Amino acid sequence: MTLVSVVVPTRDRRAALDRALESVVAQGIDGLEMLVVDDASRDGTGEWLRREWPQARVFAGAGRGAGAARNLAVAAAQGELIAFLDDDDRWRPSYLKMQIGALAADPGLDLVYSDHVEVDGAGRVGMPDLRPLARQPSELLQLLADGGIHTMSAVVCRRELFVRRGGFDESLRVVEDLEWYARQLAGGARFARLPRALVERGVPGGLVTAHRTWYGEERAIHARLLAANATPRQRRRVRAARALLFARIGLAKADYAFGAARLAEALTTAPLAALRLAAIRLARNWRRDARHTVPAWGSVARPAS
């Protein structure tokens, strides 16, 4: 019987994908299947997978994005649990055992996610600050205010979630994961965080380069969910928190018009809350003389087939 189905969407990243799949094999879990969706790669990824990774189930995506690719794999999955892994990320060898253990220990838990480290294009490894800037009155509002789970590579969930509340919204290009998490929480799902860095996340900056699309999609999701799940004051505070984030991103990417507009949005939406959040962020940055770095985990050798 298959216990865990590992879902890996990929496009034109053969070298990174090889490392990701090596980290899956290194889990040493019985009853595991790998489902890799080649989402219209132009570098021969599909043929390479069938030759180099015969133990993986390979699917041909239509180039419609990560949400559609994940839906395709989940529909074919045979496991009781679904684990997600992006093609430029890796798991520590203990990752699946710890995530499966957390779900087994609490039958009422629907999804568990771990912490992660981040690796940039130059190979520098750092610990992200995952602490919320302010506590929200519900898990859903905390997700919407903080952006929630930073990578799906840290997520293992019960397949039943997809049966009860559906898959990813394929019309979204950037925040299909956020929308799916929020829909699950709004429907009563239970999430838990495993506060250990068990995932190495690649951060080449692709998401940040699409910050205007990200902002537009997120605002639409917030408008729908906040209207039904938050008071007017709570809605203003969540909007201000996210506007401050996008202001930082816009200014860092030299998109000054966008950054200034988001800063103005934060200060006009909830001025006191925005100033408080900005002060907390500045204080945290001041306390960190430099980004905390940790040694890279190194490569994991793949056993011979």
Tens digit of each residue's pLDDT (9 = 90 or more) over 29-79: 999 999 999 999 999 999 999 999 999 999 999 999 999 999 999 999 999
Q: What is the pLDDT of residue 204?
A: 64
Whole-structure pTM value: 0.90
Angle formed by the axes of helices 256-269 and 271-287, nearest 10°: 120
Question: Per CATH, the architecture of 4-207 is what?
Answer: Alpha-Beta Complex (3.90)
pLDDT band at 305 (very low <50, low <70, confident <90, very high): very low
Q: What is the pLDDT of residues 217-260, one digit of tens each?
A: 999 999 999 999 999 999 999 999 999 999 999 998 899 999 99
Q: What is the pLDDT of residues 12-35, one digit of tens each?
A: 999 999 999 999 999 999 999 999
Rounded to an integer, what distance in angstroms lies between the CA atom of residue 221 and that of residue 171? 12
CATH 3.90.550.10 in the chain is located at: 4-207
Q: What is the pLDDT of residues 270-286, one digit of tens each?
A: 999 999 999 998 888 77
163 in the Ramachandran plot: left (φ > 0), alpha (ψ -120 to 50) or beta?
alpha
